[in-house]
Amino acid sequence: MDTRVSDAELEVMEVLWASPHPLTATDVAERIPSERGWSLATVKTMLSRLSAKGAIRFSEEGRRYLYTAAIARDSYVGRESQRFVDQLFGGRLSPLVARLAEADALDKDDIAAIERILKELKS
């Protein structure tokens, strides 16, 4: 499945991924940061779009719809990360890491984590 979601839709997905059980549209709306200023109707629109894309599923419970993610967060993040590297860096990760280093965007913990990963890959 090659499902892409907008930044706004991603916010709804994060709410669904964080919940261990299905949520109603009202539940989702209550968990969206208030700074967004989204109405319940806006959240329902986002849920409808995500459902049409196959990113979420829903079931009916009486008069309520219960929503769950249809794609795993790790899977989505992996695909989007690869797409990002492919589009901006020709599929090569080293130019991305170099760019982050040039911008002083890597702290000591990041560098240590990268070194651990590289060490494991070399083994």
- Predicted confidence (pLDDT) per residue in 55-68, tens digit: 999 999 999 999 99
Task: Please give the radius of gyration of the chain, using alpha carbons only, rounded to the nearest integer.
Answer: 18
Q: Are residues 110 and 97 in the same domain?
A: yes
pLDDT (0 to 100) of residue 120: 94
Q: Which residue pairs, CB below 8 angstroms and at least 24 apart, start in 101-106?
A: none
Q: Are residues 101 and 77 in the same domain?
A: no
pTM metric for this prediction:
0.84
Domain that holds residue 107: 93-123
Give pLDDT tens digits for 34-60.
999 999 999 999 999 999 999 999 999
Q: Are residues 46 and 100 in the same domain?
A: no
Chain center to CA of 55: 11
pLDDT (0 to 100) of residue 3: 77
User: Could you count the other beta carbons within 10 Å of the beta carbon of residue 55?
Assistant: 22
* Domain count within the chain: 2
Give pLDDT tens digits for 108-122.
999 999 999 999 999
pLDDT (0 to 100) of residue 2: 58
Quick one: which of 17, 15, 36 has its CA closest to 27?
Answer: 15
pLDDT (0 to 100) of residue 22: 98
Q: Are residues 11 and 68 in the same domain?
A: yes
